[in-house]
Structure 1
Amino acid sequence: MDAVKVWTPYCGAAPAPAELLARWNLDPVLLAALVAATLAGGFALRPYPARRRAFLAAMALLAVLFISPFCALTSALFSARVVHHVLLTACAAPLLAAAIGTDRHRLPGGLAAWTALHGLIFWLWHAPPAYAWALSSDAAYWLMQASLLASAAGLWTALRTAPALAGVGALLATMVQMGVLGALITFSGRALYAPHLLGPQDWGYSPLEDQQLAGLIMWAPGAAIYLAAALVLLGLWLRDESARPQPG
C-alpha cells in the first residue's frame, strides 16, 4: 500500500528534475515568520556585530532550506532530506548559538543532557514510522524541524560555556551517534522510508540507492563536521594550555 501512496509533505509532492527550479516555497506564513524574525533579531543584535552576522547567516541558511527549490527536492530524495537535516543541525544551529553569545545564563540541564537529548531526537525522527508521520502532516513536519533545530542549538549553546574537554567529548559522542545511524541506514537491505519509494526513480535512483546515499552522507560528511569541531576545540585547548604559565 505504501508503494502506491502519493505523499504530499509540507514542501509539496516530489518534483521531477525538469520542474525543480520552479518549485519555490512561497508559503506566506513561513515568509512572514522568517522576515519578522530576521528584522527583529537583526535590530536587537545591532550592538553586537559578530553575533548579528551569525544570526543573519543562520536566517539566510534557513531561507535556503525552507524557501528555495531545495525544500521540494527533499520531498523526492531521502538523501536530500539528510543533507537538509545536517545543514539544519550542524550549520544553522551553531550559527544561532553564536548569535546568542556567551553573556547569557547557562542553559538548564548541562552539556551532557543536551547532547543526549539531541541524539535522541535525531534518532527518533529518522525512525521510519516517525519520519513517515512527519511527511504526512504539516504539524508533524514542523515539529520535526523545530525539535531538531532547537535541540541542536541547545547543544551548540551549551558547548560555548562548557569546559573544553567536555565539549570535545560531547562533539565526539554526537559524531559517533550520527555515524552509527548513518551506517545502519546505509547497510539496511531494504528501503525503509515509504515517502521515498517513488520519488527517487525520477532522479535515476532506486529507493534503496537513495537511502544508501543518505546513510553515507550522514555517516561521513555529516559526522565529520562534529569531528572537525572537536579537533578545533581540542587545538584551542592545547594552545591555551601551552600558553599557561608553568608553576615554578
Structure 2
Amino acid sequence: MALERMRTLGALIFLLMMARQAAAHGAEAHLFHSIWTIDPWIGTPLAIIAFLYGRGSWKLWRRTGRSRSVMAKRAICYWAGWLTLAGALLSPLHWLGEQVFTFHMIEHEIIMAVSAPMIVIARPAGLFLWGMPDQLRRWTGRAMRRGTVRSVWRWLSGGTNATLLHAVAIWAWHAPALFDAAVDDVALHRLQHLSFFATAVLFWWSVFWCSNHGVAAWHLFLTMLHTGALGALMALAPRVLYVEQTHAAATWGLTPLEDQQLAGMVMWIPAGTIYAGAALVLAALWIANAGRGVDHVQRIRPL
C-alpha cells in the first residue's frame, strides 16, 4: 500500500515536471490555460511537505493519548499556513499578481506575514521527520543534531540576524531593477518568493521561539518601521518606479502610478498592522511578566 502511494506521488511529480511553461511576462504555466498556476518548482515542494506532515501526523496520532489536543491545535496552524501559502502561489491571486502590482504585493504579504508565522507556530519539523521513511528519518535526525548544523541554525534564527536577513531580502528584491527583472524571469521570480518565505520563517521563529517577549516586540517594531517606510516610498513616489510590473495596469482600470501607489499602501498599512499587532501582544506579555516579577527569558508558550 505504501509503495503504491509512493508510485502515485512520483507520477504526480513527473507530470508536474513535464508541464509546459509560457515564456513571457509572468512565465509560470497555467493549468489548462486557466488562471490557476501550475509550476513544478512550487507545486512539488508544497506537495512534499503536505505529504510528510500528513503522514507524520497520522503516525503520531495513533501513538499519542493526552497530547492529541496539542497536535490538533498545531495542525490547525500548520494547515492554515500551508493553505494560505499554496493559495498565494498557485491560486488566481498569483495570476492576478502577474498583471497588477497591487495583487502581487498582497501575494507577498500573505507569504511573509500570514503563512510563515502560522507554519512557525505549528513547529512542524518533528512531524516532517516522522513522515519520512525510517532510514531517511534516522539519517536526517542525526544530521540535525550535529554541532555544526545546530550552530548554523542558532546563528540564522537569532533575533538580530534573522531580522536583518529578512530586511535585506525585502529591500533588495524591491529595488526596482531587480523586482522588474523577477517579473520577466521565472527563475528569479521563484528565487524571490523563496527568499521572502525562508527569511520570514527565520524571522518569525526568532520572534516566537528564540527571544523573550520584550526583544521579540522590538524586532517586530523595527520590521514594521522599515517595511512601512518602503511601502511609503512606493506609495508617495511622484513617478513610476516599477515599469514592467505596472505595464498592464491600464487593462484593469488603473494607471501605472496608481497601481504602484496601491501596492505601496498594502505594504505600508495592512502588513504593518500585522507586525504592530503582534508587537503589542508581545509587549503586553512582557509587561505582565515583569509585573509578576518574572525575570528569566519568557518565550511564547507552545500550543
State the TM-score, normalized to the length of structure 2. Answer: 0.71
Deviations 1:37-70 (A, max 9, x none): 1010233245433222222111111121111111
Counterpart of 2:172 in structure 1 is 124
Q: Map 1:50-61 onto structure 2 (within 5 A).
A: 50-61=73-84
Structure 2 unmatched runs, 5+: 1-22, 61-70, 127-143, 145-149, 296-303
Counterpart of 1:138 in structure 2 is 186
Counterpart of 1:107 in structure 2 is 154
Is 1:209 aligned with 2:226? no
Change (3 A) 1:236 1:41: same
User: How far 1:157 moved relative to its partner?
Assistant: 0.3
Moved more, 133-142 or 95-104: 95-104
Q: Map 1:113-192 onto structure 2 (within 5 A).
A: 113-160=161-208, 161-192=210-241
Contact kept, 8 Å, 2:74 with 2:122, in 1: the verdict is yes
Output the CA distance in 2 between the equivalents of 1:166 and 1:151.
18
User: How far 1:208 moved relative to its partner?
Assistant: 0.1
Deviations 1:151-207 (A, max 9, x none): 011000011220111101100000000011011111111111122343111111000
Counterpart of 2:95 in structure 1 is 72
Counterpart of 1:16 in structure 2 is none
Counterpart of 2:52 in structure 1 is 40
Is 1:9 aligned with 2:26? yes
Q: Which amino acid aligns with 2:75?
A: R
Equivalent of residue 228 in structure 1, options 250, 256, 277? 277
Q: Which amino acid aligns with 2:272?
A: A
Say what the alpha-carbon RMSD is for the aligned residues: 2.5
Contact kept, 8 Å, 1:190 with 1:208, in 2: the verdict is yes
User: How far 1:7 moved relative to its partner?
Assistant: 4.8
Change (3 A) 1:60 1:191: same
Q: Point out which structure has higher relative CO (alpha carbons under 8 A, 6+ apart).
A: 1
Structure 1 unmatched runs, 5+: 1-5, 14-20
Contact kept, 8 Å, 1:185 with 1:212, in 2: the verdict is yes
Equivalent of residue 84 in structure 1, options 102, 107, 111? 107
Q: Percent identity?
A: 29
Contact kept, 8 Å, 2:180 with 2:245, in 1: the verdict is no
Q: Which amino acid aligns with 1:144?
A: Q
Output the CA distance in 1 between the equivalents of 2:164 and 2:40.
35
Output the CA distance in 1 between the equivalents of 2:203 and 2:57.
22
Contact kept, 8 Å, 2:53 with 2:124, in 1: the verdict is no
Output the CA distance in 2 between the equivalents of 1:41 and 1:182.
35
Structure 1's consecutive aligned runs of 4 or more residues displaced over 4 angstroms after TM superposition are: 101-106
Output the CA distance in 2 between the equivalents of 1:244 and 1:155.
28
Output the CA distance in 2 between the equivalents of 1:81 and 1:245.
43
Equivalent of residue 23 in structure 1, options 35, 47, 65? 35
Give 3-state SS (helix, strand or coil) of 1:173's partner: helix
Q: Which amino acid aligns with 1:170?
A: H
Counterpart of 2:64 in structure 1 is none
Output the CA distance in 1 between the equivalents of 2:47 and 2:124.
22
State the TM-score, normalized to the length of structure 1. Answer: 0.85
Give 3-state SS (helix, strand or coil) of 1:108's partner: helix
Computing the radius of gyration from Cα coordinates, the structure with the larger value is 2
Output the CA distance in 2 between the equivalents of 1:101 and 1:56.
10
Output the CA distance in 1 between the equivalents of 2:286 and 2:274.
18
What is the aligned residue count?
234
Counterpart of 1:239 in structure 2 is 288
